[in-house]
């Protein structure tokens, strides 16, 4: 699309022409930090995303995820940059279906509480003069990393893999999310938006669907209850999907259907 993009990294070795240093852990570094651009759009993605890490150390993680993220946001706004904050379905407890963009937040985890605090803090900093967009995501999958990549490796090798059948997600593919984020940024619209799968399924069902889409044998998936393992599951939403009423109305984007999602993951 011919767009120039910069990323940030907290690792000195990865700093380069398109990648600038940014460590949200360091208050002094953030207060001295300067944006490499003026104008344009910044997608705020960096932070501590582990639910377990946030639960284990609310103070340190909140410093990164809330306090320093908001200090950074203030600086970016002062540089004339439009902000798009990535947030999460964890701002809801997952007890009720189809929570849409105007539903009240009701987090059940420390990570979700931090996401809510960042959203609210950002809206306050921005005020009416500097409209910002907040895009909440359900669970994102890609073939290049994480659980989908692991499942795909197993299926390609004809190996059995275990997947939880008592933990639900509403999966979306990375390409769907990237297209949605770009559409929000280009639209100039502000406020809260959701990007979600159209279906809720267990990890075992997700793995089975992925296997089928790859033409692999679905019997390679071994359903397993998380309760029977050592896995500490701290967020167990009955309804992990998000309603997308506002996204649909303003930008015409619908929740991602499973068939499209599996194909996009495989091709991504
Ligand atoms: N993935 C999902 O399914 C999902 C779902 C809902 C919402 N989201 C939201 O989407 C955003 C991106 O999620 P993700 O899954 O890509 O997260 P991720 O894989 O955990 O990546 C987080 C990024 O933040 C960086 N980071 C961590 N601590 C930092 C610090 N102190 N200073 C600067 N950078 C730091 C990490 O850098 P290193 O590479 O150096 O560790 C990493 O690049 C997050 O806001 C998350 O809440 C994601």
- Cβ pair 58, 81 in contact under 8 A: no
- The arithmetic mean of pLDDT across residues 139-161, rounded, is 97
Q: 140-170+199-267 domain in CATH 3.90.25.10?
A: yes
The finding on whether 84 has its CB within 6 A of some atom of ligand 1 is no
The length of the chain is 268
- Each residue of 10-24: pLDDT tens digit? 999 999 999 999 999
pLDDT above 70 for 1? no
Is 140-170+199-267 the same fold as 7-138+173-195? no
| CA 171 to centroid of ligand 1, rounded, Å | 17
| CA 44 to centroid of ligand 1, rounded, Å | 9
Closest Cα to atom 13, ligand 1: which residue? 45
pTM of the model: 0.97
> What does the alpha-carbon distance between residue 64 and residue 114 come to, in Å, rounded to a whole number?
10
pLDDT above 90 for 69? yes
Quote the pLDDT of residue 96: 96
**CATH class, 7-138+173-195 region:** alpha beta
User: Among the atoms of ligand 1, which is closest to the Cα of residue 89?
Assistant: 6
| CA 109 to centroid of ligand 1, rounded, Å | 17
Q: Please give the residue that has the higher pLDDT: either 36 or 24.
A: 24
Q: To test the ligand 1 pocket, which listed residue (14, 46, 57, 85) has its Cβ within 8 A of the most ligand atoms? A: 46
- The arithmetic mean of pLDDT across residues 25-54, rounded, is 94
Q: How is residue 119 written in tokens?
A: 């959203």
Q: Please give the residue that has the higher pLDDT: either 86 or 37.
A: 86
What is the domain partition of the chain in residue ranges?
A: 7-138+173-195, 140-170+199-267
| CA 62 to centroid of ligand 1, rounded, Å | 14
| CA 211 to centroid of ligand 1, rounded, Å | 27
């Amino acid at each position: 699309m011919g767009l120039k993009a910069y990323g940030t990294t907290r690792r000195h070795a990865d700093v380069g022409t398109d990648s600038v240093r940014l460590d949200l852990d360091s208050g002094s570094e953030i207060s001295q930090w300067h944006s490499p651009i003026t104008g344009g759009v910044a997608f705020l993605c960096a932070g501590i995303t582990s639910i377990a890490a946030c639960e284990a150390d609310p103070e340190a993680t909140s410093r990164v995820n809330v306090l320093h993220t908001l200090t950074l946001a203030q600086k970016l706004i002062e540089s004339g940059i439009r902000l798009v904050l990535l947030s999460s379905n964890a701002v809801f407890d997952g007890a009720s279906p189809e929570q849409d963009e105007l539903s009240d937040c009701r987090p059940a985890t420390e990570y979700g509480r931090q996401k809510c605090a960042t959203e609210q803090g950002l809206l306050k900093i921005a005020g009416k003069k500097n409209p910002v967009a907040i895009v909440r995501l359900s669970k994102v999958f890609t073939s290049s990393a994480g659980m989908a990549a692991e499942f795909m490796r197993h299926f390609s090798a004809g190996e059995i893999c275990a997947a939880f059948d008592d933990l639900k997600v509403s999966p979306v593919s990375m390409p769907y999310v990237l297209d949605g984020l770009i559409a929000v940024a280009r639209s100039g619209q502000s406020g809260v938006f959701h990007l979600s799968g159209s279906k809720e399924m267990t990890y075992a069902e997700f793995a089975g669907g992925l296997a089928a889409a790859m033409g692999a044998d679905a019997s390679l998936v071994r359903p397993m209850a998380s309760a029977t393992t050592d896995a500490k599951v701290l967020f167990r939403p009955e309804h992990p999907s998000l309603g997308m009423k506002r996204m649909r109305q303003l930008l015409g984007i619908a929740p991602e259907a499973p068939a499209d999602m599996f194909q996009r993951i495989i091709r991504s």
